[in-house]
Amino acid sequence: MEKKVTMADIARLSGVGKSTVSRYFNGGYVKEETRKRIQKVIEDYDYEPNTFARLNAKESNVIGVVVPTLNSKITGRVITSIDRYLRERGYTTIIKSSDHDVSLELQNLKRLARLNVDGIILSALSVTSEQEAAVKEAGIPVVVLAQNYPSGICVLDDDYGAGYAMGTYIGKRKFQKVGYVGISQRDEAVGIVRKKGVMEGVAAEGIHQVYIALGDYSFESGYEAAKELLDKEKKLEAIICATDRMAFGVYKYLGEMGLRIPEDVSVSGFGGYDESELLNPALTTLKFDSYRVGALGAETLLKIISGEKVSTKQMVGFEFIEGGSVRKTE
């Protein structure tokens, strides 16, 4: 292993002081000629400063990202987008997973604060008071993603708008009997806001009675919900599912019952994962823009850091994906 070359080495080799090399990297004044000399040496040695040695720098140029899991398509998109945005602007991003554990999430928050990061992007499991306290105590800018965060800055999916769009889409088909497979209210975005959008959307089209079943995001729960709904009301014409995965479960149940989609029952979802198009018929669904959520979150954080004013609550749009799972009105 070769000796690691440090800033002091670069300084010595270029015949300048360390402070000058430091200024070279941090945009301070360096005479053009000196700059050239330093640059040459840096290239020769393929040198880059050690980001983590900036112990007493005003800005660390490090941003912390806390996510609930490393294992979801959404998280994958969000952190890809954050990482890219930040990298292109010279920031180092440190990703910490809470692994679905609230206490680990709290620990991650505290640890990042201690590492002197310039800011934190938090994709929260849920908003807890302890967490709010930690954020406050950290004294560094925090942007919360995909979760309403009244006491701070957040970037959200437009769940209400999406729900409303799907509600009116289904409503316009003039179905008499509609079912909805929802999610517990503990998930505010999906369980409350999205549902509200759907309900008000169908209502706007004159449908006032919706049969409701509750699922838990899983394939199986969609299957069970479909069974429950069709048991309660044999003549259901359409089932709106709060997530694609549950819609897949509904597909399975309808298939087993010999009911055709969309001739007998129409089905729709929310999510817009690539799988939706694999189904037969392709699922009519709605895709949230997770990449945009990540990028906007990062952009917002950098603005806060540089002292710009930002909105406390920003909404990111969605895209309607029309498949073949909803019957057209003849």
Partner DNA sequence: CTGAAAGCGCTTACAG
Give residues in contact with DNA (CB under 7 A): 4, 6-8, 15-23, 25-26, 28-35, 49-50, 53-59, 114
Phi, psi at 241, each rounded to 5°? -110, 140
8 A C-beta contact, residue 182 and residue 208: no
**Residue 205, contacted partner among DNA, a copy of itself, none, CB below 5-8 A by kind:** none
Q: Would you say 34 or 218 has its CB closer to DNA?
A: 34
Considering only residues 301 to 330 of the shown chain, the ones binding a copy of itself according to CB under 8 A are: none
- The interaxial angle of helices 129-138 and 102-114, nearest 10 deg, is 10
Considering only residues 244 to 263 of the shown chain, the ones binding a copy of itself according to CB under 8 A are: 248, 251-252, 255
Is residue 71 close enough to count as binding a copy of itself by CB under 8 A?
yes
β-bridge partners, 142:
120
Note if the bond before 150 is cis, omega within 30 degrees: no
Question: Residue by residue, what is the 3-state secondary structure of 232-269?
Answer: HCCCCCEEEECCHHHHHHHHHHHHHHCCCCCCCCEEEC
> Judged by CB under 8 A, which of 149, 219, 223, 288 binds a copy of itself?
219
Q: Would you say 204 or 257 has its CB closer to a copy of itself?
A: 257
Phi, psi at 13, each rounded to 5°? -65, -25
8 A C-beta contact, residue 93 and residue 119: no
- Specify the residue for token string 């999916």: 157
Tokens encoding 48: 């880059």
Burial class (CB in 10 A: 0-12, 13-18, 19+), 121: buried
Is residue 84 close enough to count as binding a copy of itself by CB under 8 A?
yes
> Judged by CB under 8 A, which of 30, 41, 138, 286 binds a copy of itself?
138
Number of residues this chain uses to bind a copy of itself (CB under 8 A):
47
Is residue 70 close enough to count as binding a copy of itself by CB under 8 A?
yes
Smallest distance, DNA to C-beta of residue 9, A: 8
Q: Would you say 7 or 198 has its CB closer to a copy of itself?
A: 7
Q: What is the binding site for a copy of itself (CB under 8 A)?
A: 1-2, 4, 46, 48, 50-53, 55, 69-73, 75-77, 79-80, 83-84, 87, 94-95, 97, 99, 110-111, 114-116, 137-140, 219, 248, 251-252, 255, 274-275, 277-280
